[in-house]
Amino acid sequence: MTALATGKKAPDFSLRTLDGRNVALADERARGPVVLAFFKVSCPTCQYTFPFLERLYRSYRNSGVSMVGISQNDAKETAAFVKEFGVTFPVLLDEVGRYPVSNAYGLTNVPTVFWVAQDGEIEVSSVGWVKADFEQINRKLAASGKAAPAVVFKPGEDVRDFRAG
């Protein structure tokens, strides 16, 4: 099984945040497109990716697009990851051991990032770190906020084109 491809319908779900708040994909989509970023705290590629996702979030937090992390770890491990990597966007907890949402999205590797349009169609499906996919999400965020794409890579920063998940 592989991650859901572009053109597929994103399965609806409802999961809890670290502080116990319930978040439903349908509610997030009612406000606009959604970026879903699945991860595991021990994954080196996730650790590489999430600081860049945080930069996108900070650049576009008022663009009408929701960004949501989905952790495959327990609350304690996830809270430590969020703190270590400075993640400020909402992070949800998939049920450890069963992973109902990860399985519904066909995950075999993390990180896996999806751009889910407001109508529920997956427009970007990216497994691992793929710089071109990240740049596409940056352009989509910019278009949603009617702004120029943010500069998220700092001069001199080693930003790889690809890194397997």
pLDDT at 86: 97
Cα dihedral 160/51/139/31 (nearest 10): 150
pLDDT at position 148 over 80: yes
pLDDT at 1: 46
**119's tokens:** 């109508």
Three-state DSSP at 61 gives: coil
Task: Kindly indicate the confidence band of residue 152, based on its pLDDT and cuts at 50, 70 and 90.
Answer: very high
pLDDT tens-digit readout, 16-50: 999 999 999 999 999 999 999 999 999 999 999 99
pLDDT tens-digit readout, 92-132: 999 999 999 999 999 999 999 999 999 999 999 999 999 99
pTM, full prediction: 0.97
Task: Write out the H or E segment, with its range, that includes residue 102.
Answer: helix 100-104
pLDDT at 138: 97
Q: Which CATH number does 1-11+38-148 carry?
A: 3.40.30.10
pLDDT at 165: 87
